[in-house]
Amino acid sequence: MAKKLGFEDSDGVLQRQLDVDDSTKRLKVYASDDSEIMDIEVHASRHAYGGDDAIADNALRFSQIDKVFGSEQTVSVDAGATATISKGIYYVRCGANTKVEYSPDGGTTWVELIAAGGVGLVISDGSNVRLNNGGTAAEDSHLLPIL
């Protein structure tokens, strides 16, 4: 069987080949010596429950992260003030002088998580994550909840 698609390394040496197996009509990966490495179309079954390389029962599954966005919230923080971020998961867009901080010790010390004017993902416990406006005027930041 002639291989349809070959992959070479930077020296031009054939490393892998892809082809449709004539008997099974499945896509397979072959080594440079034409030995079969893997049937791509049945590979996923190795990871299913009871398969040779099954994903653990307690592994994160897509259904657990199949989320949607809620309505974006605008939070206005006065100059030199802070605002605690409610419990949840958010994409945060900080105002130009506002940063996101978290406290690893219940509020004694605060560590910068997202720089002023930055954007990032925040997971808040509802008491130890806050917006901190270091500017001289009130400004808005935006929280997009992931539900």
Could you report the per-residue pLDDT of 43-97, keeping only the tens digit for each?
777 777 777 777 787 777 777 778 899 999 999 999 999 999 999 999 999 999 9
In 3-state terms, what secondary structure has residue 66?
Answer: coil
**CB–CB of 142/105 below 8 Å?**
no
**CB–CB of 81/66 below 8 Å?**
no
Q: What is the pLDDT of residue 3?
A: 58
pLDDT band for position 136 (50/70/90)? very high
In 3-state terms, what secondary structure has residue 7?
Answer: strand
CA dist., res. 40 & res. 20, Å (int): 10
